Structure 1
Amino acid sequence: MLIHERRDEADDVVSLTLSRADGGELPRWSPGAHVDVALADGLTRQYSLCSDPDDRLRWRIGVLREPDGRGGSRYVFDKLHGGDIVEVGEPRNHFALEPAPHHVFVAGGIGITPILPMIARVDAAGADWSLLYGGRSRSSMAFVDELPRDDGRVTLAPQDETGLLDLDGLLATPRPDTLVHACGPGPMLDAVAAAMTAWPPGALRIERFTPREVELPGADEAFEVEFRTSGVTATVPPDRSILAVAEEAGIVADWSCREGTCGTCETSLLAGRAEHRDAVLTDEERDAGSTMMICVSRAERGCARLRLDL
């Protein structure tokens, strides 16, 4: 795809507007979707689409420079400019906007990107909504000028001016018929979940850009996996993932991040119980036990065998 435009949006944040090189229409997507962007040296990173889903000619992504990251954002900042060509995958959505009479959005830093089209969609539908948007400072908070600011529904909370987000004040008391969508740094999302312990199941939707920290009861154990479609059964040792074992057996499995954040490797679980370590599935989806992310998740302790539709 062609980088139609690159813009500075805030301190250490740029946006890339993408279009097909031949000028054709792009695939449809819905608020909350992200795409894979292939970078140099085998790097692939996932970025949320933050433009208008009804615009079939342009996609926009926002990228935060992460000096201590694995090199993806440095490549974007240092190497990609208007007129360059990049490979971009199909949109995927594990953070879909669900219908509700009332919506509360919580964004931290670059987590505003998937929230932007959500707000536009619910606002156009006439639904009730509010946004709490935090960042290190005002100058680091991207896309502020695109937010409605004249009716009190948007609260900006730069940390250097207001301190940490008052999540208890916002979320401690459950609200009927309300969904909360949150995206941002891991500690902020953990704090959102902690503040919502009294809310009914399913009221919170989260998207994480980094792996979820999981407390493990002990050392990993070996287990068997039956890859039903491929007719292969293999042992997954403690130091290997299901995805790695599948690849070693010649089984083709889709993947992108290999850290449980993108959802590309989601695989149907036909039998057995998974120990979910991903940052994609909701608690309800984990409890249902019908799928798992094979790049990070394993068999539950005491479960000696999984059967996967792969």
Structure 2
Amino acid sequence: MTLEISAKEAVAEGVVALTLVHPAGARLPDWTPGSHIEVVLPDRTVRHYSLCGSRWDAYTYRVAVLREPYGRGGSALVHDTLRPGDRVGVGGPRNHFPLVPSETYLFIAGGIGITPLLPMVQQAELLGAEWQLLYGGRTRASMAFLEELTAAYGERVHIAPQDEVGLLDLGSWLGAPRLDTKVYCCGPAPLLTAVEAACAHWPAYTLRTERFTAAEQAAPVRDVPFEVELRRTGRVVTVTPDVSVLDAVRSVGVDVLSSCEQGTCGTCLTPVLEGSPDHRDSILADHERVANTCMFPCVSRSLDDRLVLDL
């Protein structure tokens, strides 16, 4: 669908928020906390941004974009070129970071990682759950939506600007496991790694994370070709070590929608009917990997000689 930028505002140093609406004023697709959309920029590149507005506003989407000086150019285009009245293509919403029921939540955000957590805080508050937000950033001025959060929620929002207090004190927050608490974290890779290490002794499936960049992966389990059967078409394709499953499938004429091709956006999610994937994405939780009911063919491979996909 094509949406129009109705507003653009600076919400922190290096961060702008875009409000998107349907050009004809139509209702937008519903979404749930943790969802993101795919935005097709004027140069045809695609970027993924978490929805950070109110899910109860059926007519607007809000996203926030951090200027990344060493990025691929998408954030610079958003900051320097896009203006209210411009139109962009939008795909989704999609949600690979859903908020599951819990009595208590601990939300941990680093920098622009606050964006998917904003609707989660709103949802937890609406449901009457207990929650705390630990929010770190380089400086107060660089932390988006800071005033909005503190004005609405007061002491439940714990601010930790690095230039004032150093790195987030994860030990004091995550030292003692709590059976009734789910932990949600989004932010830069070092923060996610530190939170994963701090939660290693917590109950299984307590922690959910979302990454903006792909996690480092070890080498694939197999370095020999394997076969992929496409059940719906009856085609069988051989995947060699130098070709992704996605590219191999496309080579026989089966088009699979994809975007990032790094295992972070979730666009190419594909059902697995038989076989065990070598999961190499940065999206699936541990129990989802064990289930082996789906995979992301842009990066994941196979543990077996043959995989059967619902394609």
**How does the TM-score come out when normalised to structure 1?**
0.96
Moved more, 17-26 or 155-164: 155-164
Superimposed CA distance per residue, residues 157-210 of structure 1 (whole angstroms, 9 cap, x where no aligned partner): 111111111112211211121101111111111111110111111111111111
Q: Output the CA distance in 1 between the equivalents of 2:164 and 2:235.
A: 58
Partner amino acid, structure 1, of 2:181: T
Per the alignment, residue 208 of structure 2 pairs with 205
Per the alignment, residue 196 of structure 1 pairs with 199
Per the alignment, residue 46 of structure 1 pairs with 48
Per the alignment, residue 154 of structure 1 pairs with 157
Equivalent in 16, 19, 41 of residue 18 of structure 2: 16
Partner amino acid, structure 2, of 1:203: T
Identity %: 51
Aligned residues: 308
Gaps spanning 5+ residues in structure 1: where?
Answer: none
Q: CA deviation at 1:148?
A: 3.5
Q: CA deviation at 1:245?
A: 1.0
Q: Where do 1:63-82 residues align within 5 Å?
A: 63-82=65-84
Tell me: CA distance 1:116–1:221, structure 2 relative to 1, closer, same or farther (3 Å).
same
Superposed CA RMSD: 1.3
Q: Where do 1:179-190 residues align within 5 Å?
A: 179-190=182-193
Gaps spanning 5+ residues in structure 2: where?
Answer: none
Q: CA deviation at 1:239?
A: 1.3
Tell me: CA distance 1:145–1:210, structure 2 relative to 1, closer, same or farther (3 Å).
same
Determine if the alignment matches structure 1 residue 253 to structure 2 residue 222: no
Q: Where do 1:220-299 residues align within 5 Å?
A: 220-299=223-302
Per the alignment, residue 310 of structure 2 pairs with 309
Q: Output the CA distance in 2 between the equivalents of 1:16 and 1:299.
A: 40
Equivalent in 114, 117, 121 of residue 119 of structure 1: 121
Q: Output the CA distance in 1 between the equivalents of 2:291 and 2:169.
A: 33
Q: CA deviation at 1:247?
A: 1.2
Q: Output the CA distance in 2 between the equivalents of 1:229 and 1:68.
A: 42
| SS of equivalent residue, structure 2 residue 119 | helix
Determine if the alignment matches structure 1 residue 167 to structure 2 residue 167: no
| SS of equivalent residue, structure 2 residue 94 | coil
Tell me: CA distance 1:111–1:239, structure 2 relative to 1, closer, same or farther (3 Å).
same
Per the alignment, residue 37 of structure 1 pairs with 39
Q: Output the CA distance in 2 between the equivalents of 1:168 and 1:262.
A: 30
Q: Output the CA distance in 2 between the equivalents of 1:84 and 1:67.
A: 23
**How does the TM-score come out when normalised to structure 2?**
0.96
